Structure 1
Amino acid sequence: MRSALVMRCPLPRDTFLNAIPASRVPVANPASIPARSPLRYPGGKTWLIPHVRQWLAETASSTLVEPFAGGAGVSLTAVMENLVKNCIMIEIDRDVAAFWHSALGNGAVLRHIVYWFDLTPERLSAVAESSPKTLTEHGFRTLVLNRTRYGGNLARRASFMRNGENGNGLASRWYPKTLSKRLANIEAHSDRIVFMEGNAMEILPDLLRELGRDAAVFLDPPYVCGGKRAGHRLYNHSEIDHATLFALLDETGCNFLMTLEASPEAVELVTDHGFAAVRVKMKTGHHESAQELVITPSPLFEAGLGGTAASTREDRCRFEHS
């Protein structure tokens, strides 16, 4: 475990990103990255795929663990591009979990239902108000709501799209043939995908100790570390103890890549645990500029592999190590 820091130097909110270098890896053009997941999620990680490819190529892990799976785009990419032999996906949301259970365990039936579903306002309303009797029905309901609500938002208070893309309204994100092909591809790789439903914070400690250094862990917590607390609007499960998560990664010494919305609190945690981070400039769904942190145990994406958060901050603050 890295040595603990017993003295903290708070970072001013207006300059905290000065401690973090920009990533030398270019942001991916979404059109250049194959879409693997049928699910749409706020803050999708298509832009991150070049970072993921480089990370997995350099670490050569055989198993990828994705504790906050959601749409699981990174896990699917890693398996389908043979960047790892297999993956373990974990999800706490029962609706999302129902989708993955059905996609991996009953994919042919789910694919058939999706292909022949004619989306109309009346049918959508019926699906939204239904109480699924089977896991496959539940998974289908999740997919339909995810594809027809703003930003793929499954939170209970989310609203449906009105205008959609090119004025196509509710059906603007419902592509039965494309979704069926993605489901078929997932089914074809299902023997290399393990899905676990549950709380990642409870599952991870034993799982990481069992897998050891051979596992690579990708973490994209759908929660905000400080900042605007947008996660309360976007997710049904929007609370996580970031300090505990960082401490677990430090304690186990695992090979990980984490993304977090940039905030002073996130930079503090990166620095306190001696991790490395780079910043990536993004465009939000509202076309506003935002900064995302890409965090690893040691420098990987910095220009010249220098200027980690820890070393930069040491120039400005005096630390005492225990």
Structure 2
Amino acid sequence: MSDTASLQGVSEAQLLIPLGDYHLQPIAHQKRATRNADLWSPLRYPGGKRQLVPFFVDLLKLNDKSPLDLFVEPFTGGAAVSLHLLAAGLVERVVLADLDPLVHAFWHQACFNTEQLVSDIQAAEVTLQEWHRLRADPGKTLREKAYACLFLNRTSYSGILQGRAGPIGGQKQQSKYKIDCRFYKDEIVFRLRQIGELAASGRIAAVRRTDVHATVRWVEKSYSESSRLYYFDPPFWDKGERLYRKAFGQKEHERLAKLLTGLHTPWVLSYDYHQEIIDLYRSSAQEANQDESDLVPAGSPRLHTTDLLYCNRHEKRGATELIITNLSKVPEERINDARR
């Protein structure tokens, strides 16, 4: 795809964001989270979008939405974007929601029963036997599910909770990287307590186990007077069933498109790049009846592609991300700077 293309008169831009070491980066080499600088998620999430943080920082400023009253992630996952925006003071509050019972339990406990989860993590025996126990039965209570979510996330290949993913180091633990190589207890506890502080101060306003449609309805009813922005990061279009416990089928993708193209509140959507998604949102927008405003008129969604560069010590691999938004302005200057 060329640097500038068109889709029914809508421009697409290429954005290259180098990420540095992405897989199995030693914790000592990471920037330590602080209250006034940054906050890293305790979860390693497949398709995590921390690399899009600079885009969101500039997007908020460009559209005069900083500080923003409310930032909403209906597909929370690792919540990397929400946590950074909170720590940086660019948003006042966030609402987190996820339909996966393990992911919801983790965020609920991390926010509202922090020390209980901290205690469980500190006492954890990071062994292959514990991995198999939790994989077979993650438990029934919020406490049990939250612990299982975090343990399995930090000890499974690429952080995948879906049942097909094996343990880091393999079943025979003959790899250079063993099952505990990502389980840095002190750092995990540090991050959990930072999250607990945000929740205690009301900056993490709610953690809900609802699907995207129920989440949007609840937020629109509960925060109708607040300046807000939704960030939708749904399961991948391709191979989602291999990565997520709550994957989407064709109908779910279509329902989401219908919801978003009829939503007047500002939103941003990220997807793995596929022509079917472009066609879906183009046709859905044409069917929506929206009034003209500071948002993009119906029939003209803004589509951009983002080239993400994932790196480790051995290889670099790229992935093209599709960004769709109803905001009229996107940070073109960051796109240009990133490509030099």
User: What is the aligned counterpart of 1:181 among 187, 190, 203?
Assistant: 190
| Higher mean C-alpha deviation, range 122-131 or range 273-282 | 122-131
1:233 aligns with 2:259: no
Change (3 A) 1:22 1:131: closer
Equivalent AA in structure 2 for residue 46 of structure 1: R
Equivalent AA in structure 1 for residue 271 of structure 2: L
Q: Map 1:213-292 onto structure 2 (within 5 A).
A: 214-224=227-237, 229-239=238-248, 241-272=252-283, 273=285, 274-283=300-309, 287-292=316-321
Q: Are the counterparts in 1 of residues 135 and 163 from structure 2 also a CA contact under 8 Å?
A: no
Change (3 A) 1:278 1:27: farther
Q: Residues 244-280 of structure 1, C-alpha deviation per residue, up to 9 Å, x if partnerless?
A: 3233223221111111111112222343421112211
Q: What is the SS of the residue equivalent to 2:12?
A: coil
Equivalent AA in structure 2 for residue 208 of structure 1: E
Q: Are the counterparts in 1 of residues 49 and 81 from structure 2 also a CA contact under 8 Å?
A: yes
Query: With structure 2 as the length reference, what TM-score do the two structures score?
Result: 0.75
Alignment RMSD (CA, Å): 3.0
User: What is the aligned counterpart of 1:300 among 307, 312, 329?
Assistant: 329
1:167 aligns with 2:193: no
Give the structure 2 partner of residue 95 of structure 1.
102
Q: Residues 35-58 of structure 1, C-alpha deviation per residue, up to 9 Å, x if partnerless?
A: 521111112112100011112233
| Higher mean C-alpha deviation, range 162-171 or range 239-248 | 162-171
Change (3 A) 1:107 1:176: same
Q: Map 1:22-61 onto structure 2 (within 5 A).
A: 22-23=13-14, 26-27=17-18, 29=20, 34=38, 36-57=40-61, 58=63, 59-60=65-66, 61=68
| Higher mean C-alpha deviation, range 249-258 or range 214-223 | 249-258
Structure number having the greater helix percentage: 1
Q: Residues 91-127 of structure 1, C-alpha deviation per residue, up to 9 Å, x if partnerless?
A: 0001111111211121011112212323122333333
C-alpha distance in 1 between matches for 2:169 and 2:333: 48
5+ long unaligned stretches in structure 1: 1-13, 306-322
5+ long unaligned stretches in structure 2: 23-29, 286-299, 335-340
Change (3 A) 1:37 1:138: same
Q: Are the counterparts in 2 of residues 281 and 289 from structure 1 also a CA contact under 8 Å?
A: yes
Equivalent AA in structure 2 for residue 55 of structure 1: L
Q: Residues 283-309 of structure 1, C-alpha deviation per residue, up to 9 Å, x if partnerless?
A: 35884332101222134336479xxxx
C-alpha distance in 1 between matches for 2:218 and 2:140: 33
Change (3 A) 1:234 1:26: closer
Change (3 A) 1:166 1:155: closer
1:208 aligns with 2:220: yes
C-alpha distance in 2 between matches for 1:80 and 1:288: 29
Q: Are the counterparts in 2 of residues 260 and 294 from structure 1 also a CA contact under 8 Å?
A: yes
Equivalent AA in structure 2 for residue 148 of structure 1: T
Q: Are the counterparts in 2 of residues 68 and 220 from structure 1 also a CA contact under 8 Å?
A: yes
Change (3 A) 1:122 1:303: closer
Q: Are the counterparts in 1 of residues 305 and 322 from structure 2 also a CA contact under 8 Å?
A: yes
Change (3 A) 1:135 1:297: same
Kindly state the Cα deviation for residue 173 of structure 1 after the two structures are TM-superposed: 1.0
Q: Are the counterparts in 2 of residues 65 and 215 from structure 1 also a CA contact under 8 Å?
A: yes
Q: Map 1:54-73 onto structure 2 (within 5 A).
A: 54-57=58-61, 58=63, 59-60=65-66, 61-73=68-80
Q: Are the counterparts in 1 of residues 99 and 209 from structure 2 also a CA contact under 8 Å?
A: yes
Q: Map 1:86-165 onto structure 2 (within 5 A).
A: 86-130=93-137, 132=139, 134-162=141-169
State the number of aligned residues: 289
Equivalent AA in structure 1 for residue 60 of structure 2: L
Equivalent AA in structure 1 for residue 46 of structure 2: P
Q: Are the counterparts in 2 of residues 24 and 302 from structure 1 also a CA contact under 8 Å?
A: no
Structure number having the greater strand percentage: 2
1:198 aligns with 2:210: yes
Query: With structure 1 as the length reference, what TM-score do the two structures score?
Result: 0.79
Kindly state the Cα deviation for residue 214 of structure 1 after the two structures are TM-superposed: 1.7
Change (3 A) 1:27 1:298: farther
C-alpha distance in 2 between matches for 1:65 and 1:100: 14
